[in-house]
Structure 1
Amino acid sequence: MNTPEWLKPGIYGAVIGAAFVGVVGFSWGGWMTGGGANKMASEMAHDEVILAMVPVCLDMARVDPNRTTHLNAIREASSFKRRDAVMAAGWATMPGADSPNRDLAQACIEGLNLDAS
C-alpha cells in the first residue's frame, strides 16, 4: 500500500505522541501495571490486618498471668531483641495461627508503651 506523503508526518507524530504519553503517564501520571497494583494492595491489606490485631496482642498481654515477668524480659532486652521477646511471650501469635507474627510483635511493642511505664 502506498501511503501519501502528507500522511507520514501525522503517523510519525501519533507514534511519538503515544510513546510520550506512555512514558509521562507511568513516570509522573500515577499509572501502574496490574502487578504493581496487586503488590500495593497486598501490602496495604497486610498493614491493616496487623493494625487490627494490635488490640488483640495488647489484650493477651493484659490478661497474661506472667505479664510482669514477660514485661521485665522485654524491657531488659536490647531494642532489636524486644520483638523476639514479645514473640516468645506468645502475645504476637494471631488467633488460629501456629507461629508468632514478627510485624505484629513490633506493632505490639509500640502499643505496650514500655518507655512510659
Structure 2
Amino acid sequence: MAMQSTTKRSLSRRWEDYQPTKTMLVWACIAAIVATMVVGFSWGGWVTGGTSQAMAATAGDNARGELASAICVERFNAAPDKAAKLVEFKALSDGYTKRQFIEAGGWATMPGQTSPDRLGVQGCATALAA
C-alpha cells in the first residue's frame, strides 16, 4: 500500500496539472462570447443595425428642425414690421397660438416646401419668446 501524501499542492502546481477536456474548452469559449456580448450591448454602447438607423433618422430630423428654426428666426428678424410682430407674438399666451402665429406668418416654411417643419416652428417659437 502506497502512502498518500498529506501535503497540499500549491495553486500554481494544481493549475499546471489541470488538463481540461475539449468539451470544457468549447463551453468556456461560448460563455466568454456570451459574456462579451452582454457587456457590449449593456454597457459598451453597442447597438443593432435597426437601432442605429433609428438614431440616425432622429438625429437628422433634429438637425433639420434646428436649421429650419434658425432660418425662421432670421426671416422673422428680416421682416420690415419686425417690432410690431414681435410685440404681437409676445402678447400671445400659450405655445400653441404662438406656433400658429409663426406658421401663419410663413417664416417657418422652407424653400421648396408647402408646409412648415414642426420642429422648426417649435424651435422658432422658443427662440423668439426668449
**Shorter-chain TM band:** 0.7 to 0.9
Question: Which residue of the other structure, out of 54, 57, 66, is the alignment partner of 2:72?
Answer: 57
Aligned partners of 1:66, 1:38: CA distance in 2, in Å? 43
Aligned partners of 1:16, 1:100: CA distance in 2, in Å? 53
TM-fit CA distance, 1:86: 1.3
- Structure 1 unaligned segments of length 5 or more: list them: none
Structure-to-structure mapping, 1:24-43, within 5 angstroms: 24-43=39-58
Residue-pair matches, total: 110
- Structure 2 unaligned segments of length 5 or more: list them: 1-19
Normalised by the size of structure 2, how large is the TM-score? 0.71
TM-fit CA distance, 1:60: 1.7
Which letter maps to 2:119?
Answer: D
Aligned partners of 1:89, 1:56: CA distance in 2, in Å? 13
Question: Which residue of the other structure, out of 98, 109, 112, is the alignment partner of 2:114?
Answer: 98
- Measured at CA, do residues 11 and 63 of structure 1 come closer, stay the same or move farther in structure 2, by a change above 3 Å? same
RMSD: 2.2
Partner of 1:14: 29
Normalised by the size of structure 1, how large is the TM-score? 0.77
Aligned partners of 1:67, 1:107: CA distance in 2, in Å? 18
TM-fit CA distance, 1:7: 0.9
TM-fit CA distance, 1:73: 4.0
Which letter maps to 1:30?
Answer: G
Q: Flag the structure with larger Rg.
A: 2
Q: Could you tell me whether the CA contact under 8 Å between 1:70 and 1:89 is conserved in 2?
A: no
Q: Could you tell me whether the CA contact under 8 Å between 2:66 and 2:119 is conserved in 1?
A: no
| Paired residue secondary structure (1:91) | coil
Partner of 2:60: 45
Q: Once the two structures are aligned, what percentage of the paired residues are identical?
A: 30
Q: Deviations over 1:5-57 (max 9, x none)?
A: 81111111111221111111101011001111111112222222222233321
